[in-house]
Structure 1
Amino acid sequence: MTMTISPARHRSLGDHTWQDQAVCQSTEYNPVDPEIFFPEPDETDKITAAKSLCGQCPVRRTCLDAALESGGTDGIRGGLTEEERGPLHEKLANRLDYSRVNATIAGRDVHLTKAERRAVVHAAYRHGVTEQRLAWLLKITEEHAQKLYRETRRALRNRDLEQTTKTTPPPEADGERLGRDDFGTAA
C-alpha cells in the first residue's frame, strides 16, 4: 500500500475561490439549504446534517481556517459548531504551523499569526533571504525588515553566547580538574 501526503493548501489573503469546491454550495444537482448551517443549539438534526456534509467536504480545513482567521463565530464552519470553535479561536494567536511558514517563504500570501511571522523572519534570515524579499513577503517596509533582521541577529548571538558559557569547562588547578572536595566545607 502506497500512501501519498499532499502538501497543505493554505488560503491566500482575500482568496475565496476555495468556496467553489465546498460541499455546502448549493447547485442545481446538489441543492443544499444554507439554514442547516445555522441551527439553534437544540436542533440536533440540523447540526448532525451539517456536520455530515462538512465531513465529506474537500475544503473543510480551509473553511475552518477562514472562520478562525476572520473571527467568524456564527454557524457551523469547517465541521465545528460555534461552541466547538471557541477554544480554537482562543488558541489561534499562538498557532505555529510550519507549513504556513514554508508557504510564506515560498512566496504564498497566507494568513500568519504573530508566532508564524516571527518564524518566517527567523527562517528567512537562516536561508539568506534578502531584506527586500522579507519586506515583500510580510508586507512591511524594508526598514522594518532591516530592524527584524537586526533583532534576529542579536537574539541568535545572545543564544550562542549563552550556550558557549554553559558548555565552557570549569577552571582547572595545575592542569587537573577541580572536584567537589577541593572547595572545602562551610563553617
Structure 2
Amino acid sequence: MTSTTHSPARHRSLGDHTWRDQAVCQSTEYNPVDPEIFFPDPDETDKITAAKALCNQCPVRRTCLDAALEGSDANGIRGGLTEEERRPLHEKIADRLDYSRVNETVSGRDIHLTTAERTAVVHAAYHHGLSTQRLAWLLKVTEEHAKKLYREHRRALRNRDLNQPATTTASPEAGGEHLSRDDFGTAA
C-alpha cells in the first residue's frame, strides 16, 4: 500500500469542476495563457519549464493533479507533473489511502475514492454503527450491496481474530506494557 496522507485539503466533490475557474492556466483577458505549453513534446524543455512554473503558482494544483489521476488523464502537464512523472502515480492510485478523504466521505461529502479508501469507509462506517442505508448512500451503491460489504467486513474481522496468535501480556513486574488495537484509534 502507498503512503498514507493526513492533509487538511478540501477535496472536490463528484462532478465538481468549479476548481478550474481558479486555475492559473485558464486564459483570461488579463492573463493570456497559451494552452499548448501544457502539451509539449518530451524534448520541448522550455515549454515544460514554463508550464511547471505556472503550476507552481496555482492555488488548485493538488486538485488538478487529483483530477488527472482519478480521471486517468495521462496527457499533458497536470498538477505540475509531466505525463512521465504522473505514470507511477497512475499505477498506484487504487492503493492511495488518504484518511482525510475517508473522513469527508463518512461525514457525507461526495468525493472520489480509491479502492483502498472505499474499504476504509466501510470499516469506519461499521465501527461507527452506521446503517446499511447510510453506507449505501455514502458509497452510491444499492442497499443490498451495502449489506454485502458489511457481511464481508464482519467475516474479515472474524477471520482476523481467529488467525491471530495468542499473545502473552508482560507482567507489570517485568516493566512490560500491553497495548491492544483499541489503543491506536480508528481510521475515521
Kindly report the root-mean-square deviation, in angstroms, between the aligned alpha carbons of the 2 structures: 1.7
Tell me the residue number matched to 2:167.
Answer: 167
1:9-158 matches, within 5 Å, as 9-158=10-159
Q: Give the equivalent residue in structure 1 for 2:173.
A: none
- Partner-residue secondary structure (3-state), 1:166: coil
| Unaligned segments of structure 1, at least 5 residues | 170-187
TM-score by length of 2: 0.83
Is the deviation greater in 151-160 or in 107-116?
A: 151-160
How many positions carry a matched residue from both structures? 164
> Unaligned stretches of 5+ in structure 2?
1-5, 170-188
- The structure having more radius of gyration, on CA atoms, is 1
- Displacement of 1:155 in angstroms is 1.5
Which letter maps to 1:72?
Answer: D
Look up the SS of the partner of 2:78 in the other structure: coil
Q: Which has the higher contact order (CA 8 A, sep 6+)?
A: 2
SS of residue paired to 1:167: coil
- Per-residue CA deviations over 1:121-148 (Å, capped at 9, x if unaligned) read 0010011111100000001111111111
**Deviation of residue 9 (structure 1)?**
1.3
Give the direction of change, closer, same or farther, for the CA distance of 1:94–1:160 in structure 2 (3 Å limit). same
Letter in 2 for 1:121: V
Give the Å deviation of 1:120. Answer: 0.4
- Cα distance per residue 1:61-89 (max 9 Å; x no partner): 10001111111111100000111111111
